[in-house]
Amino acid sequence: MEERLKEAPCGFISIDQSGCINEVNTRFLTWMGYQEEEMVGKHMETLLTKVNRMFFHTYFFPTIQLHNSVEEFYINLTNAAGESIPVLLNARRYVHEGVPVIDCLFIQMKQRIDYELELRSLQKTTEKAYLDREEAFAQLEKVYVEIARKQGEILEMNNELLKLSNTDKLTNISNRRFFQKELERHIDLYTEEGIVFSLLMVDIDHFKNVNDTYGHLAGDSVLVQLAGLLTQEIGLANRVARLGGEEFVIILPGTNAEESLQLAVKLNKAVENANWEIIHRLTVSIGASTFSESDTEVTILNCVDQALYRAKGNGRNCSIHYHEIR
């Protein structure tokens, strides 16, 4: 393990396909209260409660196998003293010297939770003081000052956590969680104000061949370049997000079916004509769908997915709008 990773200010372990720990850094050992020789070879599940083991089996392992990464997974670890340690877990699966390896990065949440609990306590103190403000005015003023200080600290922490939870770590664009929130917001705008919007779902053609031929690092480089290209091409009014793997989705506010298909075709050409240094050529298939009064969050996603499936069936490197196939 590299020295900077071993001494990193966050917890790190590397596990094999079965969940046994191969490597662990100093910070994680300090949190857990173990020596390195006690930790290496231990199964990851031994650090979890029964409830968290269930979540680990039903979410973590299926997701890491399907998408090769897990982001923002909240769990509680149990250290050698039996104490609970709340953490956010990010993980990435890759093949090292022919062997699948899963690297796990942990960020402690205890300080943030303690801040929130402290803030709630201070707010209760404020409410109590307000009932008898003439006698407690001086104390109340101190409490307000303390609340303002704590709120500033929490706001700073929340901003960092919000950015962390809404951003795809590889491409630095919005992730699935942020997209789902934005989709709900645009559906509300359509319902309340009649503002139409469309979705584009973009999938890289034969991306598995890129990874198999050039390696996963080259595949990651392609994903980063494509995210930048899509962001540049769609303009500031629109929002591109990575759903996971090689799939991207774009929300197009104020865009009807015809306009969304025109933009999709433009993206096909932009991707095909771009300079891909490692792989030389890349194409994408795009499905499009426009929200209507009969749609829901589920149906609009189903429609755009069907359109993408048809685009792939039509030979790839093309765009299809759902209204063309229904």
Neighbours of 254 (CB within 10 A): 13
Instruction: Kindly report the backbone phi and psi dihedral angles of residue 293, in degrees, each rounded to the nearest multiple of 5, phi listed first.
Output: -65, -20
Query: Would you state the structure tokens that stand for residue 303, as one six-digit string?
Result: 């429609």
Query: Would you state the structure tokens that stand for residue 193, as one six-digit string?
Result: 């104000």
How far apart CA 307 and CA 321 sit, in angstroms, is 6
Residue bearing tokens 């997701």? 63
Q: DSSP assignment, residue 48?
A: B
Q: DSSP assignment, residue 43?
A: B
Query: Would you state the structure tokens that stand for residue 255, as one six-digit string?
Result: 């865009």
Q: Is 246 a catalytic residue?
A: yes
**Partner residues linked to 88 by β-bridges:** 74, 107
Q: Which of 14, 11, 157 is nearest to 87 (CA)?
A: 11
**Partner residues linked to 231 by β-bridges:** none
Are 276 and 210 in contact by the 8 Å Cβ rule? The answer is no
Residue 214, Cβ density class (10 Å: 0-12 exposed, 13-18 middle, ≥19 buried): middle
Pairing of strands 21-24, 99-108: unpaired
Sign of CA dihedral 128, 130, 131, 134: positive
Which among 246, 259, 277, 324 is annotated as catalytic?
A: 246
Task: Please list the active-site residues.
Answer: 246
